[in-house]
Amino acid sequence: MTRKFPLYVGSLLLLSIAVLASPTLDADSSPAEATPECSLVSSPDYYEIDLVTTRKVSGARLAKGKGEVTYAASPFGISVSEEGSYLVNIDVSMSNVRLDDDKVLVAWVTTPQLDQIKALGTLDENLQVTGQTDFNKFLLVVTLEPRDKEPGAMWTGPVVSRGMSRSGLMHTMAGHGPFESEPCAVYGY
């Protein structure tokens, strides 16, 4: 390990320089302007979804992203479906991504069982999109798709990033122990 360590550090340094030097597509980075006090409040950090890169897609191996969750507009302050599922808006934003001209990023939500998939939308030139879902637990997935095709029933391209909703982290001893009802370890949780 001692012999490998300098090599490791050197590689890391080179990589860092390469990343810093390369042009990237960033989310809107216009200068901060004086904003009303209300806009200093953002979506609840508690329910924010961290999008983790899969490191599999060229140009996006170091991508960063997040899904900010707020309630769909409602006269009640929060919004739920007729069955009681929270209806939320998800503001997806990505950065540190370099795409070919014929490719776009598309955001999706899917259940942990992957049995329901819904497209949130295609990220715009600022790598942002907003969509809505009423899934109780969900994975937020961003994939690389052809620019000239509308998102279909599910993604066709590779997964760039993914993250789990806060509710999806709800696991107890029963979820992992002898009373397991969700084999979450199988898909990495």
Partner 1 sequence: MHSNRFAGLLVLVALLTPILPAQAQEMDHSMHMNHNMPMGDSLVWRMAPMDGMTMPMMPGMMDDIPDVGAFLPGFGMDVSMYPEAKPSEIIDMADGDTLHMDASLVRRTIDGREYVMMAYGGMYPGPLIRADRGSKVIVEFTNNIDMPTTVHWHGLRLDNAFDGIPGLTQDPVETGESFTYELKFPDTGMYWYHPHMREDVQQDLGLYGNMLVDPTEEDYYAPVNREVPLILDDILVDANGLFPYGEEAPTHALMGRFGNVMLVNGISDYNLDIQAGEVVRFYLTNVANTRTFNVTFDGARIKVIADDVSKLEREQFVSSVIIAPAERYIVDVYFDEARTYDITNSIQAIDHFRGIFVPETHQLGTVTASGQASEDNAEAFAEARTNEDTIADIDNFRRYFDKAPDHNLRLTIETKDLHPMTMRMMEVDTLYFPPIEWNEGMPMMNWLSTGEEARWTLLDEDTGKKSMEINWQWEVGDKVKIRIFNDPSSFHPMNHPFHVHGQRFVITHIDGVENRNMAWKDTAIIPVGSTIDILVDVTNPGKWMAHCHIAEHLHAGMMLGFEVFEQGAGPQAGR
Considering only 137, 154, 157, 159, the residue that binds partner 1 (CB under 8 A) is: 137
Give the nearest distance from C-beta 84 to partner 1 in angstroms. Answer: 4
| Residue 66: DSSP 8-state | E
CB burial of residue 168 (10 Å; 0-12, 13-18, 19+) = buried
Give the nearest distance from C-beta 167 to partner 1 in angstroms. Answer: 6
Give the nearest distance from C-beta 137 to partner 1 in angstroms. Answer: 7
Considering only 1, 177, 186, 188, the residue that binds partner 1 (CB under 8 A) is: 177
* Residue 111 touches partner 1, criterion: CB under 8 A: no
For residues 46 to 75, the per-residue mask of contacts with partner 1, x marking binding by CB under 8 A and - elsewhere, is: xx----------------------xx-xxx
Q: What angle do CA 132, 134, 138 make, to 5 degrees?
A: 90
Q: How many CB atoms lie within 10 A of CB 142?
A: 31
Instruction: Supply 82's token pair.
Output: 């007729």
How many residues bind partner 1 (CB under 8 A)? The answer is 45
Considering only 21, 32, 173, 186, the residue that binds partner 1 (CB under 8 A) is: 173
* Residue 188 touches partner 1, criterion: CB under 8 A: no
| Residue 31: DSSP 8-state | P
Q: Which stretch binds partner 1 (CB under 8 A): 15-23, 25-33, 124-132, 166-174?
A: 166-174
* Residue 178 touches partner 1, criterion: CB under 8 A: yes
- Spatial strand order of the sheet with 139-146 comes to 117-122, 103-110, 139-146, 159-164, 49-53, 64-71, 88-95, 128-133
Distance CA 127, CA 97 (A): 9
Q: Which stretch binds partner 1 (CB under 8 A): 1-9, 45-53, 100-108, 119-127?
A: 45-53
Helix (H, G, I), strand (E, B) or coil at 2: coil
Which residues here bind partner 1, judged by CB under 8 A? 36-47, 70-71, 73-86, 136-137, 166-167, 169-179, 181-182
